[in-house]
Structure 1
Amino acid sequence: MTKEQLLAMSADDYMNADQLEFFTQLLQAMKVDTHERIEQSRITIESLDTPSDPADVASVEEERHWLVNGIERDQRLLPQLEMALGRIGDDSFGWCEDSGEAIGLQRLLISPTTKYCIEAQERHEQIGRHQRQI
């Protein structure tokens, strides 16, 4: 099934077996891609040489820093992907954990690991901003 076919489905068919299979495949592919990115970044870090020129040292360290940040970001994504696959397994995928309302196919295509509808996500972000200000 393509994204276009998914989006063309009736709202009455929300989170039917075909849609759940589409998102299962999407999340599994994202897991594979994430693992591959982590491994490639690790290989690249290991292959970086420490040059003798101080200007080159700074460039290599900056590249190393970006690669490490990418690995950390990808490692934080992996549990989110697993949790989303778990929600597919328990039939809660696509439904807001706060309100129980449909998250929506377009939002799930953009962020398949999300567990909140837009309104609930905004509420959580406002709470987070408020708590950081305290």
Structure 2
Amino acid sequence: PHTEYMNVKQMEFFRSKLTQLKTEILNSAGETTEHLREDTVIVPDPADRATIEEEHALELRTRDRERKLLKKIEQSIARIDSNDYGYCDETGEPIGVGRLLARPTATLSLEAQERRELKQKMFGD
């Protein structure tokens, strides 16, 4: 029943899960900064330098993805604060605990997400 869905206990569980995820990302970002700083020594061998530059590029792409995820996490926490968390942006229907456990930043029900992906595939949107 809807009275059981997204009760206080569930909201606190997801707030904790999202906060933990946020902390992990921020710690990881700090390690990247430190790692990039350490690797700025001059490497005379072009092959070694290319390898280091490729590693840096990969690490920066990962950080960019994490930065976007961090924004979604913060938006999800704000949705918890406003009691909107767990409900589909398009339909207002419950997203479902199972989906939120798999993807705590989800803002669309599985059906709405599938419709959006199908539309994007059809129209290249």
TM (normalized to structure 2)? 0.90
Quote the Cα distance in structure 1 between the aligned partners of 2:124 and 2:26. Answer: 32
Offset of residue 131 of structure 1 = 3.9
Deviation at 1:107, TM superposition (A): 0.8
Q: Which residue of 1 aligns with 2:23?
A: 32
Q: How does 1:75-114 map onto structure 2 within 5 Å?
A: 75-114=67-106
Say if 1:42 and 1:129 are closer, same or farther in 2 by CA, change over 3 A.
farther
Structure 2 stretches lacking a partner, 5+ long: none
- Cα distance in 2 for residues equivalent to 1:51 and 1:110: 43
Q: Percent identity?
A: 32
TM-score, L = length of structure 1: 0.84
- SS of the aligned residue for 1:32 comes to helix
Amino acid at match of 1:120: A
Map 1:1-134 onto structure 2 (within 5 A). 13-48=4-39, 49-132=41-124
Query: Partner amino acid for 1:100?
Result: G
SS at match of 1:45: helix
Query: Structure 1 segments of 4 or more deviating over 4 A?
Result: none
Unaligned runs of 5+ in 1: 1-9
Aligned to 1:7: none
Kindly tell me the number of residue pairs found equivalent between the two proteins: 124
